[in-house]
């Protein structure tokens, strides 16, 4: 059973979300502030978190920025902050979805279902792992062990970054538009959200190092293309030795 955390300062919203998710088959723990939720996260990480922005002891934007430095579980904002700039900021800080209040409880549950379905699809695409080369560099992606590494160096990715990377890798050599990434990885297709994709790709490239922009090529005016070449995974999961020449 998936474990969900609901952090919401409004008692009615908090309990309503909790009860509806429990009826949908999830285990749910609800918190009214950031402090108690931090204690719970340190004790046990959830499979997904639903987070409000306006909370008694802080704001969700600042909280998620710090949270994503350590944890990679997906986060859905559920909030009255409905401005487009707020939604974009939420995604840029690492949110995987953004639901504005008032909302349909049924729609919220469907979004949670969709989130786990995308994660499961991403995992099944790389059930046995995959490895790729680019020049003398070697990349590994294995959803089962949650391993993403370049030249043997593990690279931590957020849940959203994982989905984008998996989608690009599974379509290696093919131009993927920003709209396709939004629809496949976020269930969004609005042009105003294109910068969300650019921000996530920028963050992935930064984590990948100096070859980031070579692994993920920009096709100006359209989108991105993964440039790696598929190779055979070594049994010991170690990158191939580079030539001494």
Domain 127-231 listed as CATH 2.60.40.10: no
Q: Is 87 exposed, middle or buried (0-12, 13-18, 19+ CB in 10 A)?
A: buried
pLDDT reading at 169 higher than 60: yes
Question: 1-5, 147-151, 239-243: which has the minimum mean pLDDT?
Answer: 239-243
Q: Indicate the Cα dihedral angle 22, 27, 28, 29, nearest 10°.
A: 140
Output the pLDDT for position 127: 47
3-state secondary structure of 5: strand
Query: How far lies 107's CA from each of 29, 77, 233, in Å?
Result: 20, 14, 41
pLDDT reading at 88 higher than 90: no
Span 91-98, mean pLDDT?
85
Over residues 136-162, the pLDDT tens digits come to 899 988 877 778 899 888 888 887 888
**Ranges for all domains in the chain classified under CATH 3.40.50.2300:** 3-123
Over residues 177-198, the pLDDT tens digits come to 998 998 888 766 555 567 888 8
Over residues 22-53, the pLDDT tens digits come to 999 999 999 999 999 999 999 999 999 999 99
Question: 15-19, 122-126, 168-172: which has the minimum mean pLDDT?
Answer: 122-126
pLDDT reading at 85 higher than 90: no
d(CA 108, CA 190): 19
Give the chain's end-to-end CA distance (angstroms, integer).
53
Mode of pairing for the β-strands spanning 153-154 and 176-177 = unpaired
Question: What CATH number belongs to 3-123?
Answer: 3.40.50.2300
Over residues 201-220, the pLDDT tens digits come to 998 999 999 999 999 999 98
3-state secondary structure of 77: strand
With a pLDDT cut of 90, the percent of the chain lying above it is 44
Output the pLDDT for position 191: 57
Span 86-91, mean pLDDT?
87
Output the pLDDT for position 114: 84
pLDDT band, very low/low/confident/very high, at 231 (cuts 50, 70, 90)? confident
Output the pLDDT for position 244: 44
CB atoms within 10 A of CB 51: 24
The tokens describing 79, both together, are 């909030």
Question: Which residues is 52 bridged to in the sheet?
Answer: none
Span 80-104, mean pLDDT?
87
């Amino acid at each position: 059973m998936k474990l969900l955390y609901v952090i919401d300062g409004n008692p009615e919203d908090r309990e309503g979300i909790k009860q509806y998710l429990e009826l949908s088959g999830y285990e749910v723990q609800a918190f009214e502030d950031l402090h108690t939720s931090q204690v719970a996260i340190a004790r046990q990480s959830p499979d997904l978190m639903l987070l409000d922005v306006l909370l008694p002891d802080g704001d969700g934007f600042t909280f998620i920025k710090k949270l994503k430095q350590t944890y990679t579980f997906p986060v859905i904002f559920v909030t009255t902050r409905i401005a487009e700039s707020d939604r974009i900021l939420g995604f840029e800080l690492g949110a995987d979805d953004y639901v504005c209040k008032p909302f349909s409880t049924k729609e919220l549950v469907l979004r949670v279902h969709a989130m786990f379905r995308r994660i499961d699809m991403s995992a099944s695409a790389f059930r046995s792992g995959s490895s790729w080369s680019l020049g003398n560099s070697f990349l590994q992606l294995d959803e089962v062990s949650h391993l993403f590494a370049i030249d043997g160096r593990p690279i931590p990715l957020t849940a959203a970054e994982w989905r984008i990377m998996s989608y690009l890798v599974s379509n290696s050599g093919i131009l993927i538009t920003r709209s396709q990434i939004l629809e496949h990885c976020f269930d969004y297709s609005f042009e105003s959200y294109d910068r969300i994709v650019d921000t996530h790709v920028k963050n992935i490239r930064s984590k990948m190092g100096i070859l980031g922009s070579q692994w993920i090529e920009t096709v100006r005016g359209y989108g991105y293309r993964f440039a790696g070449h598929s190779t055979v995974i070594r049994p010991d999961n170690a990158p191939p030795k580079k030539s001494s020449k």
